[in-house]
Structure 1
Amino acid sequence: MKLRFLGKNSKQGDCPTLYATDRDTYLVQGWKIFANDLLTQLDIPVGQTAVEVPTELFEFLTEDGLPIGEIRRLEDPIMVLTPSGTFVVQGLEVTDSEALAEMEIPDYETVVEVPKAAITALLEEPREADLQRRAQPAL
């Protein structure tokens, strides 16, 4: 897998990062999720995992030729918008040793792979069902 660096959200040592691949996917490097209250909200299939990243990380999608990087809809693979203003992104856990060797991944982070089409679909204006879901208070 070949990687192309799109951007990094560096704040005081934190480094969620976004890459494009030659497989029509994005790699999203983010914080591992340890909070039990957050984990209970997720239904993560075997072979997948989830990471938490700042919403601003997706602004780097413009580096991949997209007109905007603002996520406008919440659905798979972005599972949750947390109260602290971060996204939880679910995808295949990256195990490709060559790709991982190109990244700097602290122990408290991991990387997920998600289809480009799934991410770019979330840049579209929300549909009515999305607006209704956002209007309901979180449990």
Structure 2
Amino acid sequence: MLLKFLGKGGSGDGECPSLYATDTSTYVVVGWRTETPRTVEIPHLLLGFAEPDTFVGATMTDTGRGTFLVSGRPITDSETVVRLGMEPHETAIEVSKAERTFYGATAAA
């Protein structure tokens, strides 16, 4: 899997969740481990690194504390895991990359 780093953020110590684009039109999301399998926690700001005219096409739940819970396919390939350089409290999932096709309606005249 080829990875393109898009951005990271969410903590002040450099151990931040990260977002990557893949060569298979998906995103890899590195986030904080949760107790729910296949789910990571990420800061809201991480979604701002998505490629233009796309969004993270995954089920997300707002925690109410500036983060989302995001679910996807766990990354288990050892080569990819090593390249991601995750901290022990982090894990990675793969989610779809969806195209943004609607930007809202204009106000009625």
TM-score interval, smaller chain = 0.7 to 0.9
Correspondence for 1:15: 16
Matched, 1:78 2:59: yes
The separation in 2 between residues aligned to 1:53 and 1:10, in whole angstroms, is 8
TM-score by length of 1: 0.64
Shift in alpha-carbon separation, 1:109–1:24, aligned structure 2, 3 A: same
2:31 maps to 30
Q: How many residues align?
A: 103
Select the structure that is richer in helix.
Answer: 1
Residue 79 of structure 1: how far off its partner (Å): 2.6
CA RMSD of aligned residues (A): 2.5
Unaligned runs of 5+ in 1: 40-47, 127-139
**8 Å CA contact 2:32, 2:40 repeated in 1:** yes
Write the deviation string for residues 60-112 of structure 1: whole angstroms up to 9, x where unpaired. 11xx3x1587x8xxxx7233101102111100000122211111111111000
Distance 1:80 1:125 in 2: 22
CA 82–124 in structure 1, closer or farther in 2 if over 3 Å, else same? farther
TM-score (norm 2): 0.80
Work out the percentage of aligned pairs sharing the same amino acid: 39
Taking structure 1 as reference, are residues 79 and 20 closer, same or farther at Cα in structure 2, changes over 3 Å only?
Answer: same
**Alignment CA distance shift 1:83-1:96 (3 Å):** same
User: 2:38 is paired with a residue of what secondary structure?
Assistant: strand
Q: Could you tell me which runs of 5 or more consecutive residues in structure 2 were left unpaired when the two chains were aligned.
A: 105-109
Higher-strand-fraction structure: 2
